[in-house]
Amino acid sequence: MLVPGESTLKGSGEIVEKHGNESYSALVWRRLKRSWTGMAGLIMVGVLIFIALFADFLSPVDPKFTDVGYSSPEVISFADKDGGWTMFPRIYPMVEGAELDPITYQPLIGPDYDNPRYLGLFVKGAPYRLLWLIPAERHLFGAVDGKPVHFLGTDKFGRDVLSRALYGSRISLMIALTVVSIVTVVGTTVGMVSGYFGGRFDVWVQRFVELVLAFPQLPLYLALTSLIPVTAPTSVFLAFVILVMSALGWAQLSREVRGKTLALAGIDYVRAAIAIGARDRRIIFQHIFPNVMSHVIVAVTLAIPNVVLLESFLGFLGFAVKPPLISWGLMLQDTSKYSAIGSYPWILTPVAFVFATVFAFNALGDGLRDAIDPY
């Protein structure tokens, strides 16, 4: 449906460029380049998407591989067993020693100085499919002999935290992008249609939107996610989580879009289009849509971090995706026990990833808002 609108946009842009002027997108890009937070956000978003796409190449260990549980991060060292300096970076793997903790009687975990694991770039490791297509087994970095290295320690089942956090970006970003796409399509369409047709239809749609906005969001999300049968397959579960998260989000966007559409519907070119007998669909998608687009783009960029956060909070409470899928929220579920974060603070790693994501999208959204609408 949107294709004709987009193609004319591009077409008109090219014509304008021939006259030596700048197209709208070029103007926006030039303004965006001026804001350093916006550019930082853009770069970080790029890096995040790269991480999500190439998670298997970047992660040193298979995220499902289990090792010693709750072993602390292994530090890259240039010192050999006797403390002398060497050329080759290495880590000393954490192993369970023969000694027991005098209080808890748990085996003490400590570095094994006799068996260093040498580190290298582009080492062979667990096989995977690059971009879900090309079979490969090279990883960006890791132990030369293919043994696991845990730069950020392991979780309670002994799985590598760093690798899981990298893999987690896939599901977390996928959820965020899908939810935001659904919210955008529904919110924009409802808003434009309601604002354009007005009258009785508009009144009823707005009553409905008000109703949706009156729900206390967080408790409702919790109630809705508890609707999902525990035995459902992971894919169904994931789809349901996405649906639940989209259920309320569209209302606010549709309100804003409706406000803009109301103003646009009275403008001369729309009235002219009505006067020459253009169909409603054509007016909505050709004349109104391009004008609300800038607002929608900003709203979308700023909505993504909210979904990432929602996912991590629901995950923290144990209501998000189910294993074997990996997401940041799921990883944070273990951090709800004070004792666990006290003894093993490295399981808070996903917090840093969520922070970075939220910062990146917010910074980009901020920059875009100023670039698109400088007033």
Partner 1 sequence: MFRFLLIRIASAIPVLFILSVVTFAIIQAPPGDYSDFIRSQLINQGGASFEEADAQAKAYAAAHGLDKPIPVQYVNWVVGMVTEGDFGRSFFYNRPVADVVAERLPRTLLLALTCHLLASVIGISFGIIAATKQYSWIDSLLSFVSFLGMTVPRFLMALVIVYIMVFHFNVNEINSFFSPRYGGAPWSWAKFVNLVQHVWPIVAIATFGGLAYNMRVMRGNLLDTLNAQYVETARAKGLSEGAVILKHAVPNALHPLVMYQGVVLPYMLTGEIETAVIFALPTVGPAIVSSMAVGDVYVTATFMLVLSATLIVGNIIADILLALLDPRIRLGGGAN
Q: CB of residue 96 vs partner 1: minimum separation in angstroms?
A: 24
Query: Measured in Å, how far apart are the chain's first and last C-alpha atoms?
Result: 31
**What are residue 90's DSSP bridge partners?**
77, 118
Q: How far is the CB of 351 from partner 1 (least distance, A)?
A: 5
Per CB under 8 A, the list member of 214, 268, 275, 324 interacting with partner 1 is: 214
Q: Which stretch binds partner 1 (CB under 8 A): 77-85, 115-123, 139-147, 360-368?
A: 360-368
Q: Does residue 341 belong to the site contacting partner 1 (CB under 8 A)? A: yes
- Contact call for residue 211 and partner 1 (CB under 8 A): yes
Nearer to partner 1, 83 or 342 (CB): 342
363 binds partner 1 (CB under 8 A): yes
CA distance 268 to 212: 33
Of 92 and 316, nearer to partner 1 (C-beta) is 316
Sole window of 19-27, 103-111, 130-138, 351-359 interacting with partner 1 (rule: CB under 8 A): 351-359
Q: Of 24-32, 81-89, 114-122, 339-347, which part binds partner 1 (CB under 8 A)? A: 339-347
- Considering only the stretches 80-88, 124-132, 145-153, 342-350, report the one whose residues sit in contact with partner 1 under the rule CB under 8 A: 342-350
CB of 213 to partner 1, least distance (A): 8
Phi–psi pair at 273, nearest 5 degrees: -65, -40
CA distance linking residue 326 with residue 328, whole number of Å: 7
* Piece in contact with partner 1 (CB under 8 A), picked from 58-66, 116-124, 153-161, 334-342: 334-342
Phi-psi region of 122 (alpha: psi -120 to 50; beta: other; left: phi over 0): left
Distance, CA of 24 to CA of 13 (rounded, Å)? 7
Among 223, 232, 267, 274, binds partner 1 (CB under 8 A): 223
Binding mask 148-187 for partner 1 (x = CB under 8 A): ----------------------------------------
263 binds partner 1 (CB under 8 A): no
CA distances from 278 to 10, 218, 281, 374 (A): 21, 43, 8, 32
Contacting residues for 273 by C-beta, under 8 A, at least 6 apart = 282, 283, 286, 287
**Rounded CA separation 241/227 (Å):** 10
Should residue 305 be labelled a site residue for partner 1 when binding is judged by CB under 8 A?
yes
Whether omega for the bond prior to residue 73 falls within 30 degrees of 0, making it cis, is: no
Of 103, 63, 109, 97, give the one whose Cα is nearest residue 330. Answer: 63
Q: Which are the contacts of 231, defined by CB distance < 8 A and separation ≥ 6?
A: none
Q: Say whether residue 348 binds partner 1 (CB under 8 A).
A: yes
Q: Tokens 């808003």 sit at which residue?
A: 191
Instruction: List helix spans (H) across 198-348.
Output: 199-214, 217-225, 234-265, 268-275, 280-282, 289-316, 328-332, 338-343
Q: Does 362 bind partner 1 (CB under 8 A)?
A: yes
35 contributes a contact to partner 1 by CB under 8 A:
no
CA gyration radius, the chain: 26
Q: Which pairs count as long-range contacts for 6-9, CB under 8 Å and 24+ apart, including other chains?
A: 8/286, 9/290
Is there binding between residue 216 and partner 1 (CB under 8 A)?
yes
Asked whether position 44 contacts partner 1 by CB under 8 A, the answer is: no
CB of 313 to partner 1, least distance (A): 5
Residue 312 found at the interface with partner 1 (CB under 8 A) = yes
Can you say how many angstroms the Cα of residue 220 is from the centroid of all Cα atoms in its chain?
Answer: 22
Q: Which amino acid is at 147?
A: K
Q: Is 220 in the site for partner 1 (CB under 8 A)?
A: yes
Which residues of this protein are in contact with partner 1, per CB under 8 A? 37, 210-211, 214-220, 222-224, 226-227, 229, 252, 305, 309, 312-313, 316-317, 332, 335, 338, 341-342, 345, 348, 351, 354-355, 358-359, 362-363, 366
